[in-house]
Amino acid sequence: MRRGTHPGRFRFLKEGTGGAGPVVYWMSRDQRSRDNWALLYAQEEALRRERPLVVIFCLVPSFLGATIRQYGFMLKALEELSGALEKKHIPFFLLRGEPAEEVIRFVEENGAALLVTDFDPLRIKIGWRNAISSRISIPFVEVDAHNIVPCWLASPKQEFGAYTIRPKIHRALDEFLDDFPPLKKHPVSYKRRPRTIFRPGLLSSLRINRYVPEVKWLVPGEKAAHQVLRVFLKTKLSSYSTRRNDPTQDGTSFLSPYLHFGHIAAQRVALEALKARRAPQAEKEAFLEELIVRRELSDNFCFYNRHYDTVKGFPDWAKKTLAPHRRDRRKYMYSLKTLEAAQTHDELWNAAQTQMVATGRMHGYMRMYWAKKILEWTPTPEAAMKSAIYLNDTYELDGRDPNGYTGIAWSIGGVHDRAWGERPVFGKIRYMSSNGCKAKFDIERYVNQQKG
Ligand code: FAD
Ligand code: FO1
């Protein structure tokens, strides 16, 4: 195992001279104490300076349409996290408000020596980081704690597809897919103690939609994430490639909400999957293709394409092929309200929508079909993108994620895909039909399963 964080994993957003106070890790994407390169880097820097180490998380009153479902899941995990950090003598401060104000105020009030944060390609996060780095004078470092191969190293540009990024990522795995050092008990304590923060009123102060019920079937947090990983490796990995595309079976890992909130590191998942004794190598490779190549391709798309959530982000061939079909007659046309209520003519689509609304998780195979039908049944590709993102990010526990924006742009705008046979509305965008689904799995069974 290497001594210290790999130099390719972090980069300076701002140079400068630090204060006499602690090293501050402003946590946002990677909400965990274990296997967190941003936290490990911050601790290395605090030890080198013989300073305290503190973690701050800035709770914003609303975030990309997140509802009580996602905030509830996240906050329960943050409470567990604050306890885990306390045990390591690393105080956890929950700030409330806009990061550009709150993070700067914290850094100034505490005379921070260095500010560290975790990488996130989403536009909103880049906005937060820019606002902060333009107004602080201490060093500010960004660490990619989410990807195994740091996003800016995997490729210097937007990749065409999995087939172009795969060799670049595989080549770098020897260097980056290494084990994590443990987080040390921090030897320098900090004079300020965080006030107890997880009182019930915390949620009521948020400006969010409270009608999307929290999920009960999945426990949030690091411990639960590792438990779900253990179950997956023991009981599902060996048949992953055959069962993962059958929505009537639970053949996938169910890790996406934990990866989205950073409760578990994808690097940890990959290391444990490679060590899994009973699973055949081919099954491990099929799983790592999704976990590493597909997931890191999504960060690549959002990082290098500013228009990752609109039609403008589509490849030129897709824009060209959709244009002449804008006026094609839509055999079915549905309002967002009808879609949200799962009231279309298509019972398979309604079942997928129902699964997502009821459980906060739609099966991965159905997500492709679900999004493509939204293109087919709405007046324009622009309206389709807006509706698909709204529905995905309101109801999916793993929503508001680069995987989501990329998955929707793949389905509706051919991102990372190629041209297929020309047809009405779609042009050469890949089409999916319920007959095609019928040939793949028992759709009656899937529809009945969603009837509760
Ligand atoms: P597994 O099959 O167990 O895969 C393990 C991990 O690999 C996943 O947790 C995920 O991190 C990654 N992964 C798997 N498939 C993909 C993929 N196609 N693209 C990128 N990463 C992948 N994923 C989200 O995390 N959030 C979303 O909001 C989201 N919305 C999507 C919308 C559409 C229209 C499509 C087509 C895909 C979307 N995906 C999204 C990607 C994928 O469907 C989910 O990550 C996956 O279904 C999660 O289930 P799992 O963890 O059991 O997956
Ligand atoms: N990140 C924050 O730094 N502060 C928040 O209050 C916050 C709320 C939030 C709610 C739902 C959700 O899905 C994500 C949220 N995030 C928040 C961001 C999250 O940690 C991820 O960084 C991004 O969503 C994925 O890139």
**All structural domains of the chain with their residue ranges:** 7-146, 148-180+221-304, 311-451
Report the pLDDT averaged over residues 160-186. Answer: 97
The ligand with the least distance to the CA atom of 64 is: 2
CA distance 295 to 286: 13
CA distance 249 to 446: 9
Ligand 2 atom 6, closest CA = 59
Query: What pLDDT, on the 0 to 100 scale, is given for residue 388?
Result: 98
Superfamily of domain 7-146: HUPs (3.40.50.620)
CA distance 85 to 93: 11
* Ligand 1 in reach of 226 Cβ (< 6 A): no
Q: Is it the case that residue 203 has pLDDT exceeding 90?
A: no
Query: What pLDDT, on the 0 to 100 scale, is given for residue 14?
Result: 96
Residue type, 437: C
The ligand with the least distance to the CA atom of 102 is: 2
The ligand with the least distance to the CA atom of 96 is: 2
Indicate the burial class of 39 (C-beta count within 10 angstroms; 0-12, 13-18, 19 or more): buried
Dihedral sign for Cα 277, 281, 282, 288, please: positive
pTM, two decimals, is 0.98
Query: For 311-451, which CATH class?
Result: mainly alpha
Smallest CA-to-CA distance from 397 within 357, 432, 370, 430 is with 357
| pLDDT > 90 fraction of the chain, expressed in percent and rounded | 95
Query: What pLDDT, on the 0 to 100 scale, is given for residue 195?
Result: 78
Contacts 24+ apart (CB under 8 A), 351-355: 351/446, 351/447, 351/449, 351/450, 352/247, 352/450, 353/391, 354/450, 355/449, 355/450
Which residues, judged by CB distance below 6 Å to any ligand atom, belong to the binding site of ligand 2?
28-29, 58-60, 63, 66, 70-71, 74, 120, 122, 261, 400-401
Task: Give how far the C-alpha of residue 326 lies from the chain's centroid of Cα atoms, to the nearest Å.
Answer: 32
CA distance 230 to 269: 10
- CB–CB of 312/123 below 8 Å? no
State the DSSP string of 392-447: HHHH-TT-SSHHHHHHHHHHHH-TT------BTTTBTSPP--HHHHHHHS-HHHHH
Report the pLDDT averaged over residues 441-447. Answer: 98
**Minimum-distance ligand 2 atom for the alpha carbon of 99:** 3
Q: Is it the case that residue 2 has pLDDT exceeding 70?
A: no
Report the pLDDT averaged over residues 373-382. Answer: 98
Residue 26, both tokens: 């402003």
CA of 149 to the centre of ligand 1 (A): 18
Rg of the Cα atoms in the chain = 22
Smallest CA-to-CA distance from 259 within 213, 212, 292, 283 is with 292
Report the pLDDT averaged over residues 43-49. Answer: 98
pLDDT in tens, 311-331: 999 999 999 999 999 999 999
Alpha-carbon dihedral of residues 354, 355, 357, 358, nearest 10 degrees?
100
Query: Which band of pLDDT confidence, cut at 50, 70 and 90, is reported for residue 196?
Result: low
Smallest CA-to-CA distance from 287 within 300, 271, 303 is with 271
- CB–CB of 147/173 below 8 Å? no
Query: What pLDDT, on the 0 to 100 scale, is given for residue 338?
Result: 98
Query: What pLDDT, on the 0 to 100 scale, is given for residue 172?
Result: 98
Residue 351: in which H helix or E strand, if any?
helix 347-359
Ligand 2 atom 13, closest CA = 400
In 165-265, beta strands by DSSP E: none
Q: 387: left (phi > 0), else alpha (psi -120 to 50), else beta? A: alpha
Neighbours of 283 (CB within 10 A): 20
Residue 165, both tokens: 């990024």
Residue type, 113: A
CA of 31 to the centre of ligand 2 (A): 9
Summary mean pLDDT of the chain: 96
Sheet holding 140-143, edge to edge: 10-14, 140-143, 114-118, 23-27, 53-59, 92-96
Residue 167: HSE in the Cβ half-sphere, 13 Å Cα cutoff: 3
Question: Which residues, in sequence order, are bridge partners of residue 140?
Answer: 14, 115
Report the pLDDT averaged over residues 21-31. Answer: 98
Architecture per CATH, domain 148-180+221-304, reads as: Alpha Horseshoe (1.25)
Q: Is it the case that residue 46 has pLDDT exceeding 70?
A: yes
Q: Is it the case that residue 45 has pLDDT exceeding 80?
A: yes
CA of 124 to the centre of ligand 2 (A): 10
Query: What pLDDT, on the 0 to 100 scale, is given for residue 264?
Result: 99
Q: Is it the case that residue 159 has pLDDT exceeding 90?
A: yes
pLDDT in tens, 92-141: 999 999 999 999 999 999 999 999 999 999 999 999 999 999 999 999 99
CA distance 407 to 169: 20
- CB–CB of 436/333 below 8 Å? no
Query: Which band of pLDDT confidence, cut at 50, 70 and 90, is reported for residue 193?
Result: confident
pLDDT in tens, 390-415: 999 999 999 999 999 999 999 999 99
Neighbours of 165 (CB within 10 A): 23
Residue 56: in which H helix or E strand, if any?
strand 53-59
Neighbours of 332 (CB within 10 A): 12
